[in-house]
Amino acid sequence: MNRTRRVVVRGEKGQLPRYEPVLDLPPLSPEQYEALRHHVALHGVLVPILVDGDGPVRRIIDGNHRRRVADELGYDCPEVVQAGMDEAEMRTLARSLNLARRQLSQEQRRQLVADQLVETPGRSNRWVAGRLGVHHATVASVRCLLESTGQIDQCPALLGADQRLQPARKPPRAVLRTPEERRARLEATTLLHGDCRDVLPTIPSASVDAIVTDPPYPEVRREYGRMTEADWLDLMKGVVAEARRILKPTGSMVVVLQPNYESVGRMRLWLWEFLLWAAREWNLVQDVYAWATDAMPLAGTGRSQGLTRQSVKTCVWLGPPGCYRDQDRVLKTPSSRTSARRRSDLAVREGRSRKGYKEGTLAGVAAERGGTTPFNRLPISNGRQPGGHGDHPSRTAYDLAAWWCRYLVPEGGVLLDPFAGSGVVLQAGLDEGAGQVIGIDKWAGYLDIARGRIVDE
């Protein structure tokens, strides 16, 4: 049924109506706006704008810029009414029309998809793709990013276009392991159900080589609860005290944290309060950051708010200054510039920091070690993480977990994660040569996912 009809611009009593956009969509570039203005000045508004009614206040579903240009030029702007839609339907239609017609950058297109997913997270990727006129794989990849950054919850089932619930994910592609390998991985794994404050005291002193963990964050709504900042600090202080007892003398602990806002433009300070407390109480070995190279421009980054993308997690690395670490296992792949250096070139040059260096020495060290010194910023792309057992709302990026396990867990060593969730850290630990991994979580369901991940992925 066609629900559109053309309307006259003036209201019944001849007053001009007021117009409001249904959505704040990406603005036109100055060149695009000028081109539209020029076109309208020559030909008038040829394509009617789409509004929700013909009353004194009209919502523009499509055509904000045409309406503005017509106003500026004092021209009439034809309208078509699309009646009978609710707010959500109008927003979806506005997005799809913009995606279909406008020259949007890749990032702007993904942002429109992200906005739709935030609004309808329980709808299947194909449903969202159909409404917006984009490929379902694009929706899947944006969903993956939003879930991994906690912008939307993971739904175990999604509502398709046929109004049927479908499982959110296909079963993971199984890694081919022999029954012996699967048994060995399970035997090397201890999963303990309970609050880690109760479980940690049952683990013997000086028995663990490294702790790598991605705990819950305060003031974030999750299916496993929401904590105040004070409760969170209390929890973490207890965990750190136990960690020091449980770790071997050369062991260390990494806590992966991402700060959040109280409101746009006002950060919460729990991360730095914890960091300062732990560094003074114990010792901060080094500041290390994980950088999500593909973080989306989400909360607070709109033009009117103007913040930068949140893309950095702080890895709070605690332990004695001389704690165990193996730099050889985390060397950086040499850059093409380093690889291009000739080992025979021993002329002394001045670097950017004004210190002298020899190209040949740099090339020689990289070739002999198999890589160059790693940076304290780990670039990790969230969108390309392996693993399909994804029914956890805040799964840790596998590559990040694997990097720390390679660096801190000696071959055959013992790894502990007191907030194990769906077990990505434990899986990475076993993949990187840990002899034993121990995971604790308050939710038994997550530990079941962890068990599956450890044997199948």
Ligand X SMILES: C[S@@+](CC[C@H](N)C(=O)[O-])C[C@H]1O[C@@H](n2cnc3c(N)ncnc32)[C@H](O)[C@@H]1O
Buried residues in 224-252 as b, exposed as e (16+ CB within 10 A): beebebeebbebbeebbebbbebbbeebb
Closest approach of ligand X to the CB of residue 339, in Å: 35
Structure tokens at 313: 């997690």
- Specify whether the CB–CB gap between 397 and 382 falls below 8 A: yes
- Judged by beta carbon, residue 61 or residue 196, the one nearer ligand X is 196
CA torsion, ordered 19, 23, 26, 29, to nearest 10 deg: -10
- Judged by beta carbon, residue 324 or residue 446, the one nearer ligand X is 446
Distance between CA 133 and CA 163 in Å, rounded?
Answer: 19
**Helix, coil or strand: residue 364:** helix
Structure tokens at 257: 């944290």
Closest approach of ligand X to the CB of residue 310, in Å: 16
- Judged by beta carbon, residue 64 or residue 213, the one nearer ligand X is 213
- Judged by beta carbon, residue 21 or residue 238, the one nearer ligand X is 238
CA torsion, ordered 170, 171, 176, 181, to nearest 10 deg: 150
- Judged by beta carbon, residue 19 or residue 270, the one nearer ligand X is 270
Q: HEC states along 87-139?
A: HHHHHHHHHHHHHHHCCCCHHHHHHHHHHHHHHCCCECHHHHHHHHCCCHHHH
- Judged by beta carbon, residue 64 or residue 148, the one nearer ligand X is 148
Closest approach of ligand X to the CB of residue 395, in Å: 4
Q: At what angle do helices 106-119 and 125-132 cross, to 10 degrees?
A: 120
- Specify whether the CB–CB gap between 455 and 427 falls below 8 A: no
CB closest to ligand X, residue no? 421
- Specify whether the CB–CB gap between 66 and 32 falls below 8 A: no
Closest approach of ligand X to the CB of residue 212, in Å: 9
- Judged by beta carbon, residue 251 or residue 421, the one nearer ligand X is 421
Which residues of this protein are in contact with ligand X, per CB under 6 A? 195-197, 214-216, 224, 235, 392, 394-396, 419, 421-422, 424-425, 440-443, 446
CA angle 254, 258, 264 (to 5 degrees): 165
Closest approach of ligand X to the CB of residue 426, in Å: 9
Closest approach of ligand X to the CB of residue 438, in Å: 12
Closest approach of ligand X to the CB of residue 216, in Å: 4
